[in-house]
Amino acid sequence: MKIIMLGAPGAGKGTQAKMIADRYGIPHVSTGDIFRANIKNGTKLGMEAKQYMDKGLLVPDELTVKILLDRVAEEDCRNGYVLDGFPRTIPQAEVLDEALAGLGEKIDYAIDVEVPDENIVKRMGGRRACLSCGATYHIEHVPPKKEGVCDVCGQELVLRDDDKPETVRNRLKVYHEQTQPLIEFYQAKGVLKSVDGTMDMKDVFAAIEKILEA
Ligand code: ADP
Ligand code: AMP
């Protein structure tokens, strides 16, 4: 099963992608997590990506597409995966489609998690991330057991630099201009499904399960 999560930054793509990955035993592949791991390890890719991420801009397709295609070519992705944060542009989606077509494969579902912009800025200010293992929390909705500490790996939780309000507004602008057109792209392919992302995260997941098990 190959699934793409669509939606604005902060819509809950990562939250739902992790639940899907757990439930169906497929890997959760997040380009944002891959970039953040590279930044943390001080790699050349990380240093390049950071310049764009800190401004709320997209990392150029040339850098992004290769890391994603390399990742999904790994052994654990053989039976499918859930992509979170990729594709974010039409050219990225086209390259992915071509690569899959070359293998006789295709995307099965593109799930759009719908949340209005007004809710997003509020949500992002409360997001706390573990840069070590990629776990995500929210100070109100999903607090860690001990404030500021990751439940999974015990590392410190941080407010991501790109989750500060000014950058979030820029990311939303970039989302509407460059990523939202993917909704029509996948609708035309007959694989688009939409869920109301303003519901409680368990209810959002129940709606997704219903789609995947229909
Ligand atoms: P994305 O991957 O789309 O950027 P996340 O999954 O990281 O978004 O979610 C953004 C923030 O909102 C996180 O702090 C997360 O805990 C919280 N969140 C996710 N889903 C919901 C929901 N349904 N209701 C309230 N808060 C949510
Ligand atoms: P995310 O964790 O998905 O919110 O991504 C954080 C940031 O990483 C984005 O704001 C972009 O700067 C960059 N990024 C992640 N995925 C992509 C992608 N597919 N294309 C371009 N930039 C990306």
Give the pLDDT score at 120: 93
Give the pLDDT score at 136: 94
Domain-embedded: residue 187: yes
Residues 6+ positions from 136 with CB-CB distance below 8 Å: 14, 15, 18, 127, 128, 129, 130, 142
Residue 121 has pLDDT above 90, yes or no: no
Q: Whose CA is nearest to atom 13 of ligand 1?
A: 127
Mean pLDDT computed over every residue of the chain = 96
Whole-angstrom distance, CA of residue 95 vs CA of residue 70: 13
The ligand placed nearest to the CA atom of residue 171 is 2
Domain-embedded: residue 139: no
Tokens of 67: 């890391």
**71-110 residue pLDDT tens:** 999 999 999 999 999 999 999 999 999 999 999 999 999 9
**13-29 residue pLDDT tens:** 999 999 999 999 999 99
Count the domains in the chain.
Answer: 1
Whole-angstrom distance, CA of residue 163 vs CA of residue 54: 9
123 lines ligand 1 (CB under 6 A): yes
Domain-embedded: residue 122: no
Domain-embedded: residue 45: yes
**145-158 residue pLDDT tens:** 999 999 999 999 99
Domain-embedded: residue 128: no
Rg of the chain over Cα atoms, rounded to whole angstroms, equals 16
Give the pLDDT score at 54: 93
Q: Which of 86, 119, 138 to mutate to test the pocket of ligand 1 (most atoms within 8 A of CB)?
A: 138
From the CB of residue 10, how many other CB atoms can be counted at a distance below 10 Å? 27
Burial state string for 43-68 with b = 16 or more CB within 10 A and e = fewer than 16: eebbebbbebbeebebbebeebbebb
**47-63 residue pLDDT tens:** 999 999 999 999 999 99
Q: What 3-state DSSP class applies to 185?
A: helix
**Model pTM?**
0.95
Tokens of 209: 């399960």
Q: What is the CATH number of the domain that holds 24?
A: 3.40.50.300
Domain-embedded: residue 58: yes
Residues 6+ positions from 53 with CB-CB distance below 8 Å: 35, 39, 59, 161, 162
Q: Whose CA is nearest to atom 14 of ligand 1?
A: 127
Question: Could you tell me if residue 48 is left (phi over 0), alpha (psi between -120 and 50 degrees) or otherwise beta?
Answer: alpha
15 lines ligand 1 (CB under 6 A): yes
**124-139 residue pLDDT tens:** 999 999 999 999 999 9
List the one residue out of 1, 16, 9 whose CA is nearest residue 201: 16
- Structural domain boundaries enclosing 66: 2-115+179-212
Residue 198 has pLDDT above 90, yes or no: yes
pLDDT band at 200 (very low <50, low <70, confident <90, very high): very high
Domain-embedded: residue 121: no
Domain-embedded: residue 151: no
| Percent of the chain surpassing pLDDT 90 | 95
